[in-house]
Amino acid sequence: MVSAHGNGMKNGLHGKGDAPRPVPSGTILFKDIGMLATFNEKEEEIPDGAIFVKGNVIEWVGSTADLPEEYSTADEVMSMKDHLIMPGMVNTHHHMFQCLTRCVAQDSYLFGWLSTCYSAWEHMQANDMFTACKLAMAELILSGCTTSSDHLYIYPNDVTVGDSVRAARAIGMRFHPTRGAMSLGVSKGGLPPDSCCEEEDVALQRMEDAIKEYHDNSKYSMIRMVLAPCSPFTVTKDLMVKAAQLARKYEGVRLHTHMAENQEDIDFLEKMFSARPKAYIEEVGWDQDDVWFAHCCCLDDDDCKLYASKGLGIAHCPSSNMRLASGIAPVAKWLDSGINVGMGVDGTSSNDSGHMLAEVRLAMFLQRGGNNRLDVNCRKVLKMSIHGGAKNLGRTDIGQIAPGFAADFVGWKTNTIGFAGGLHDKVANLIMAAPSVGWVDLSVINGDIIVKDGVLQTLDLQELINEHNQCSARLVKHLPKGWQSGIPSNC
């Protein structure tokens, strides 16, 4: 009988994602782990560590030498000598469809970049979305992420949020899809073309339909819905209010949007709504601890006080903020004030990478280079990417390698060029040398081995890349003249 934890291509894990993935039923023992960074409550780092998994849950963690008899054998046993293993990172802001349009509007600020990209995005179809989400998830998984949200706010042609859910089920990622929306088109004073917007009553109905179809608030669930009107410059206040009211009818449905991304964003708020972020957030009822915002580069002190006092989270997206010249977010200041901060790679058109580990490294270096904060160190940014991300998503069942937590963890080989000379502190080396440590060698999500020996088990990666490039080639033909630099902002 084949183990439920074996090669995915041989055990029915490779599929189209139309149905939820079965929960594993077997046991697996990972032992001889070179360094096990648990990120548990004691922040234990265990040399020669071991993890015993039953089904999709971690049952025992400790030193291989201390393995109890009852955990010394399993349906499958894997020796992980010369590996660093830690909990999977949590990505709390992404636009997965945007990997179809990398390297567009290379010299534009936020609004000009968006105005350029809309002309391609409005031609997307369901298969484009499904393919793009699989590719984005593959990149995240291979770079150490096991749980991700996705801010999907544009639904042209036959695209639905279900396309992203199918992608997550097909590849095996723990997923928090957001049913977003845009309703404030150019004709109403907003930024996006009217063709990219929805009527608000239709958007709200589809939000509720998605909750009823996909949301699972149970422990260890693989899919939890989020409602996410796109941004203050793409939706009305009324939609923000009604989306919050709708989300709070259902247990565990959280709220997400962009906020204070750059000065253009602030200027729009003040011009359109005569408000800065604090007043706007309070007026639309988004000042509760079921909310996290993306970017927030331009918050002032009053805005930050609101975030800290109300438990509002932030998804920090350093590469995107730099790429679009939005600014350096004061992350160290946020952490000092008690604001919860998670990481986000943001869309792969404004990054233009979905490499989770590289994003975490940049977050540390920016606080050192931009804000002179040496106390933002390797372990602090890793905790931000794991614990901060889990909290943003409202998860208490992921983020630690500890008994009772979901079996979500990742591993890198340490006998490689990227770790050479850094074996005395493998955890710090992971961040300091991130560009050269390579893709993960192991990824376990919900007890399933999704990456084994550096190879994705749930899909043919080259086949996916080829299909994705075909989808991209069709869409970029619709970009306007001068797309390399982008359409100048008129705001």
Question: pLDDT digits over 21-66, tens only?
Answer: 899 999 999 999 999 999 999 999 999 999 999 999 999 999 999 9
Percent of all residues in the chain with a pLDDT value above 90, rounded to a whole number: 93
**CATH class for the domain made up of 89-392:** alpha beta
Average pLDDT for 467-473: 98
More confident residue, 9 or 435: 435
Residue 486: what pLDDT? 82
Residue 19: what pLDDT? 87
The residues facing 255 across adjacent strands are 227, 291
Please spell the DSSP secondary structure of 254-316, one letter per residue.
EEEEEES-SHHHHHHHHHHHS--HHHHHHHHT--STTEEEEE-TT--HHHHHHHHHHT-EEEE
Over 70: is that where the pLDDT of 428 sits?
yes
Percent of all residues in the chain with a pLDDT value above 70, rounded to a whole number: 96
CA–CA separation, 385 and 356 (whole Å)? 9
Residue 13: what pLDDT? 40
What's this model's pTM, rounded to 2 decimal places? Answer: 0.95
Let me know if the fold of 8-88+399-453 is the same as that of 89-392. no
Domain boundaries, the chain: 8-88+399-453, 89-392
CB 444 within 8 A of CB 83: no
* Environment class of 442 (CB within 10 Å of its CB; exposed 0-12, middle 13-18, buried 19+): buried
For 390-412, the pLDDT digits (tens) are: 999 999 999 999 999 999 999 99
Residue 12: what pLDDT? 35
Residue 4: what pLDDT? 31
DSSP H or E run through 140 = helix 126-142
Q: Is 399 left (phi over 0), alpha (psi -120 to 50) or beta?
A: left
Antiparallel, parallel or unpaired: β 409-413 and 83-87: antiparallel
Query: What is the 3-state composition of the chain as percent helix, strand, coil, each rounded to the nearest 5?
Result: 40, 20, 40
> Phi/psi at 61 (nearest 5 deg)?
-140, 140
> Which of 364, 359, 365, 328 has its CA nearest to residue 346?
359
CA–CA separation, 238 and 285 (whole Å)? 11
**Count of positions (residues) in the chain:** 491
Q: First-to-last CA distance in the chain?
A: 63
Average pLDDT for 7-15: 38
* Residues 6+ positions from 360 with CB-CB distance below 8 Å: 89, 343, 381, 382, 384, 385, 431, 434
Residue 489: what pLDDT? 57
Residue 8: what pLDDT? 37
- Give 220's DSSP letter: T
What Å distances lie between residue 205 and 122, 181, 227, 243, 362, CA to CA?
21, 11, 12, 10, 39
Region 8-88+399-453: CATH code = 2.30.40.10
16: confidence class by pLDDT, cuts 50, 70, 90: low
487: confidence class by pLDDT, cuts 50, 70, 90: confident
CA–CA separation, 80 and 52 (whole Å)? 13
Over 70: is that where the pLDDT of 5 sits?
no
For 297-342, the pLDDT digits (tens) are: 999 999 999 999 999 999 999 999 999 999 999 999 999 999 999 9
**Is 343 in a helix, a strand, or coil?**
strand
Mean pLDDT over all residues of the chain?
A: 94
For 141-153, the pLDDT digits (tens) are: 999 999 999 999 9
